[in-house]
Amino acid sequence: MKPTDFSKSLTDFLVSYLPGEKGASKNTIISYKDTFILFLTFLKDRKGISADQLYLKHISKEIVLDFLNWIEEERKCCIATRNVRLAAIHSFFQYLQYQKPEDLFLWQSILSIPVKKTIKDTINYLSLEGVKLLLEQPNQSSSHGRRDLALLSLMYDSGARVQEMIDLTPSMVRLEPPYTVKLIGKGRKARIVPLLDIQLNFLKNYMCENGLLEAFANQYPLFSNSKKEKLTRAGMNYILTKYVKLAREKNLALIPERLSCHSLRHSKAMHLLQSGVNLVYIRDILGHSSIQVTEIYARTDSQQKREAIEKAYTDVRPEREPSWLANDNLLEWLKSFSK
C-alpha cells in the first residue's frame, strides 16, 4: 500500500524535524507522538477515516476543533491537557507551512485555533520547617532510605525538575570545591548549579556506598531502582508521596495537602527569594527562559508583600486619646485649655 502524504509528513516531523532541527527533548517527542495517536483514534472512531486512508486534505480547522472537544467532553481531560494536545498540533502545522506552502491558508487556519484560558493554581511550596520535616522521614538505616534522602535533598538543593533528576549521571556531579551539579533542562540547555556542603554529604555517602564514585560508573544513572535502571516519573512521585504521607502524620500544618516533586523546586525558589537573592540569580539556578517566568515567585510570596506594605505604611491613627475625653469636668478642662 502506498503511504499517504499525512503519514510521510508526520514521520518526517517526529523522526527528523523535532530531534534534528528543533532539538526537542525525548519527552516532548513522546508527548507529541501520544497526541497524534489520540488524533488517529478519534478520526477512525468518530470520522470513519483510518490511518492508512488519511491524507492532509482530510484535516481542517473544524476537525481539529472536534478533536479538542472530544478530548474535553468524552475523555474528560482538563483544559491544560487540551492545550498540550493543541500545542503538538500547532507545532506540526507550523512545520507544514514550510514543507507544503501551497496549502498555507489551510495550515494557518488551524494555527489560528487559540489555547483555552485556565484558572492558574497557586504555587504549592514548603516552608523551611516543612522541608526539614520531609527530609527527616527517610530511614537512614536502610539503603533505600539513604538513596531517597540523597535524592530529595539534591532535588530541593538544586531546584531541579523531575526529568533533570532522572537524567543525572555521576559525571554530572562535582564533589570537589566548588561543589556543583550539571543539569540538562528544557531544549537540552545545560546549567551549572552550586551545591551546599551540608546537603552534599548525603549525596557523597550514597554515591560511595553504591560504587558511583568509580570511573566505570560515570554514565550510570545517579538514582536507580532495584533493577539498576533509571527512575521513572512515577517512581519519583512514589518516593515523594511516601515521605509526604509520613511527614503529614507528624505535623499536618507544615505539609500542604497537594504536593508534587515540582513543589520542591518551587520551595527552593521561594526560600532563595525570601533570603534576598536577586531574581536574576534565581532565574539562572532554575533554568528559566526569562526573568518574567521567575517573577511569579515574587508575586506569590505573601510574606514579602506584607513586609513591603509594612515598610510603606504610615500610622494615621491618633497617638493618644484627647485629654478632654478623660476629663469628667468639661468646664474645668475648657478653662484650663488656654493657660
Cα separations in angstroms, 314 against 190, 307, 310: 47, 13, 8
Write the Ramachandran bin of 179: left for phi over 0, alpha for psi from -120 to 50, otherwise beta: beta
Catalytic site residue from 33, 44, 186, 204:
186
Residue 262 known to be catalytic? yes
The CB density around residue 61, as the number of other CB atoms within 10 Å, is: 15
Catalytic site residue from 85, 248, 265, 268:
265
DSSP secondary structure of 217-234: GTTS-SSB-TTSPBPPHH
Catalytic site residue from 85, 90, 161, 268:
161
Residues 6 or more apart whose Cβ sits within 8 Å of residue 120:
none
The C-alpha cell at 100 is 507544503
Residue 288 known to be catalytic? yes
Write the Ramachandran bin of 301: left for phi over 0, alpha for psi from -120 to 50, otherwise beta: beta
Rounded Cα gap, residues 8 and 34, in angstroms? 17
Cα separations in angstroms, 125 against 43, 234, 256: 41, 20, 8
Catalytic site residue from 17, 179, 243, 297:
297
Residue 125 known to be catalytic? no
Residue 297 known to be catalytic? yes
Q: Which residues are catalytic?
A: 161, 186, 262, 265, 288, 297
